[in-house]
Amino acid sequence: TPPPTHPTRARMSFALSAPAAIGTQFPCGTKLNARSAPRQAARQKSRVVLATAAAGTGPKRVIIAGAPASGKGTQCELIVQKFGLVHISAGDLLRAAVKEGTPAGLEAKDFMDRGDLVPDSVVVTMVKDALDTPAAKEKGWLLDGYPRSASQADAIAAEGIEPDVFLLLNVPDEMLIERVVGRRLDPETGAIYHVKFFPPPADIVDRLTIRSDDTEEKAKNRLSVHHSNVEAVVGKYSDRVREINGDRSKADVYAEIEGIIDTM
């Protein structure tokens, strides 16, 4: 997999297959595995819905989901650059709250450190407030990594938050785990590197850190949590889901995503 070109984002920057909570292969003739097979009919319906949508009829509303190291962060950067959507990451909102030591942040930290889903009550208000801004309403929004469960989907729906499309990046679990455990964070710049896929410059190696949830054990737990919830989430957006094979170059992944959003 080619290395990324955006090392400044505090997230994995190579396109492949987050804290609390993804894997399969899809469109354009690629094979489906057992986990995805029941969703074929919904995917076909989704294509019809999106194909008949009138282009440029209003702000675009997009949800994107993907496992840790699925390349979701890189794709979000590219989507924002092209379409100007307001990027809202539930993970970033939570990490900011943890860093600031807010009551919600402290409560969330215990769950995040275990790789478990943070309770809906902690997150929904933060997401709602981030979407309820003039910029998000005018430019459209890209909701990143949320919802991760059926109850979360119901909670944001109750607040009137509905996407035009739900993008799901899929990558084999074994590849995801390799990418997670090799990640390294530069605390001074926020840049993310990988010991194999995107090695850091030699002069900064000694200051790099490992995120508390970037261990094999926690990565496996997060994938298990995701797989137990993703079917229910997809079911909530069955007429809007587009599954993307994330086990390709970031350019190929983005080309497919760009084509989907362009039809909206």
Q: Out of 218, 222, 242, 250, pick the active-site residue.
A: 222
Catalytic residue among 39, 43, 72, 109: 72
222 in active site: yes
82 is catalytic: no
CA–CA dist 205, 208 (Å, integer): 5
45 catalytic residue (yes or no)? no
Q: Is 252 exposed, middle or buried (0-12, 13-18, 19+ CB in 10 A)?
A: middle
CB 64 within 8 A of CB 76: yes
Amino acid at 111: F
How far is residue 199's CA from residue 192's CA, in Å, rounded to a whole number?
Answer: 10
Short-list 36, 13, 14, CA closest to 25? 36
Q: DSSP characters for 19-66?
A: --------TTTPPP-TTTGGGHHHHHHHHHHHHTSPTTSS-EEEEEE-
Nearest residue to 130 (alpha-carbon basis) of 168, 92, 104: 92
The rounded distance, in Å, linking the Cα atoms of 181 and 201 is: 19
174 neighbors 247 (Cβ within 8 angstroms): no
Q: Which of 47, 128, 211, 220 is catalytic?
A: 211
Q: Which of 230, 217, 212 is nearest to 167 (CA)?
A: 230
Cis peptide bond prior to 200, omega within 30° of 0: no
Clarify whether 31 is annotated catalytic.
Answer: no
* Catalytic residue selected from 39, 61, 95, 183: 183
Catalytic residue among 148, 236, 240, 242: 148
Map 95-139 to HEC letters.
Answer: HHHHHHCCHHHHHHHHHHHHCCCCCHHHHHHHHHHHHCCHHHHHH
Whether residue 183 lies in the annotated active site = yes
Question: Active-site positions?
Answer: 72, 148, 183, 211, 222
